Structure 1
Amino acid sequence: MTRVSGDGDTAEGDVEPGSDRMPVLLVRGDREYLVEPGDEMGTDLGVLEVPEDVQPGDTLETHLGDEFQVRRLRGPDLFHHFERTGAPMVPRDIGLVIGETGIAGGDRVLDAGTGTGVLAAMMGRAGADVVTYERDADFADVARENMALGGVSDAVDVRTGDVTEQLEDLEPSSFDVMTLDTGDAATMVEHAPELLVDGGFVAVYSPFIESTSEVVETAHEVGLSDVTTRETIQREMQFDDRGTRPSTAPVGHTGYLTIARNE
């Protein structure tokens, strides 16, 4: 392996690749490998030895002379490289949650239905302090490992258990946002007025209309305002010599996102 070049473009505030807290991505065309500094990795293009002090912007060369670019692990990469315990929320839907609720540095977020933890990690990377609950103990352990991989262990507190059974542990009016991705989300929506600050938001994600309808009804019953539900759908565009049109790949429906506000 040869280090061909290095730009050293680690941004201020990022976990420095080369520390034991953050691996890096090695990229060549459509190939992408997540590796730890100091690792050796065999590929069909040759053996790659990753230096302990590897930096984003470096170019590494296999023993056969093929080059890989070193890239810093960023938020959208977590969706592809976190260990999965189910189907995680896709980046476009996470963007809607953050955009619709205004999650930012200094916010405190209550999250239920951690799963793989992509949403919790992205909110932590946005600067929020997140308390997230996962019922399955094994899934919670995986989520904690994913938080370490994402560099947000200090920002995201992964708790094991059903949040509806641990409400006494939560301080009233202490959360700016609640994000819910559970089948019984309506149960937690009932408690939104007591857990959220004035003006705080609830964001509920569901793949099914029936549970979404229950959430909307509950939100109105407990006095939340600005209750809005949108289907999350996107169409990828296809460009070729024949012309331009939406891709014929499967329709990009993912679910229903309900936003409400505590007034």
Structure 2
Amino acid sequence: MSDPDDADDEVTAETAGEGDRSPVLLVRGDREYLVEPGDEMGTDLGVLDVPEDVRPGDALETHLGDEFRVRRLRGPDLFHHFERTGAPMVPRDIGLVIGETGIARGDRVLDAGTGTGVLAASMARAGASVVTYERDPEFADVARENMALGGVADAVDVRTGDVLEDLDGLEPSSFDVCTLDTGDAPSIVDYAPTLLVDGGFVAVYSPFIESTREVVTAAREAGLSNVTTRETIQREMQFDDRGSRPSTAPVGHTGYLTIARNE
């Protein structure tokens, strides 16, 4: 699978000397600000003018003399800096979706339940072109702004509406992957064999086990193969002078991920 940030490296190399308008991060200690070249940023540390030709690694000073370092925006930063319309999918779960489905350059992805758009943007940064559906018009507008902020507006088509009501407008066998984070996922899974190419994948993210079971049933009845569900859990480790052990904080459960294949 290609590195999700390879495309950014190529763009940086091709546009070196031309001025890259992609947003950058300004970092000082534990502070991070996402800004676009040419913008002005004001904080309690002073006002900072970001040059049009700003580059990662540059050092910029506010008018009060406080220095910020410039860092290139990377995929996980989207989770922290996109405007939120709800709880976005966390980076580790996005990694599972991309890793389990093999999303890469040239793939076409159908996504339902855009929300903040972190998953759609991450898949676009991996090289895919994404058509994503969001029912709430205000949420869809925020997602479009986030796509522009993430530098993937050309690769992500944010559509306002319900994908089930737009099936006639979708060409059969035109998607390599279908990603779903929506309550009516079982109904959309029914159409996966029609929407997906041979060997294409469905990835469904569900917060509740009841809806996950419905997804699994729908996938099997639709004739999809290799239907697998995993609970996504992560446990942080602690290292100190006394020794090493798992954190005593609650185990980091986020949801259930179901993967199935069209073949």
Q: TM-score, normalised by structure 2?
A: 0.91
Which 5+ residue runs of structure 1 have no aligned equivalent?
1-9
Please list the CA deviations of residues 125-166 of structure 1 after superposition, one character each: whole Å capped at 9, or x if unmatched: 111111110011111111111111111111111111000111
Equivalent AA in structure 1 for residue 241 of structure 2: D
The farther-off stretch of 15-24 and 35-44 is: 15-24
Question: 1:16: how far off?
Answer: 6.1
Aligned to 2:4: none
- Calculate percent identity across the aligned residue pairs: 85
Deviates more, 1:100-109 or 1:31-40: 31-40
Residue 19 (structure 1) shift: 5.7
* Superposition deviation, residue 64 in structure 1: 3.5
* 1:252 aligned onto 2:235: no
**2:114 aligns to what?**
114
TM-aligned CA distance change 1:19 to 1:87, over 3 Å = farther
CA contact (8 A) 1:82 1:116 kept: yes
> Paired residues, what number?
254
Aligned-partner residue type, residue 11 of structure 1:
D
- The answer as to 2:165 corresponding to 1:172 is no
Residues 21 and 149 in structure 1, CA contact (< 8 A), matched pair in contact too: no
String of CA shifts for 1:93-133, please: whole Å, max 9, x gaps: 00000000000111111100000000000111111111110
In the alignment, structure 2 segments of 5+ residues that lack a partner are: 1-7
Q: Name the aligned partner's letter for residue 24 of structure 2.
A: V
Q: What does 1:167-246 align with in structure 2 at a 5 Å threshold?
A: 167-246=167-246
Question: 2:67 matched to which residue of 1?
Answer: 67
Aligned to 1:54: 54
Rounded to whole Å, the distance in 1 between the matches of 2:115 and 2:255 is 16
Rate the CA distance shift 1:73–1:243 in 2: closer, same or farther, 3 A: same
1:21–1:148 contact (8 Å) kept in structure 2: no
Q: 1:247, CA displacement in angstroms?
A: 2.0
Aligned with 2:10: secondary structure?
coil
CA 1:36/1:241 → structure 2, altered by over 3 Å: closer, same or farther? same
Alpha-carbon distance in structure 1 between the residues aligned to 2:51 and 2:106: 36
In 1, the alpha carbon distance for the partners of 2:53 and 2:106 equals 32
Aligned to 2:143, what secondary structure does the other structure show?
helix
Bigger shift: residues 22-31 or 177-186? 22-31
d(CA) in 2 for partners of 1:19, 1:143: 26
Q: CA deviation at 1:212?
A: 0.1
Q: Which amino acid aligns with 2:158?
A: V
TM score, norm. by length of structure 1: 0.91
Encode CA deviations 1:32-84: one digit per residue, 9 max, x unaligned: 11123233333333332322221111011233433211011111111111111
Could you tell me which residue of structure 2 aligns to residue 12 of structure 1?
Answer: 10
SS at 2:122 equivalent: helix
Q: Kindly provide the amino acid, as one letter, of the partner of residue 71 in structure 2.
A: R
Quickly say closer, same or farther: Cα 1:246–1:81, change in 2 above 3 A: same
Once the two structures are TM-superposed, the CA of residue 250 in structure 1 deviates from its matched residue by 3.2
3-state SS in 2 of match to 1:13: helix
Separation in structure 1 between the aligned mates of residue 152 and residue 40 of structure 2, nearest angstrom:
26
Residue aligned with 1:193, SS: helix
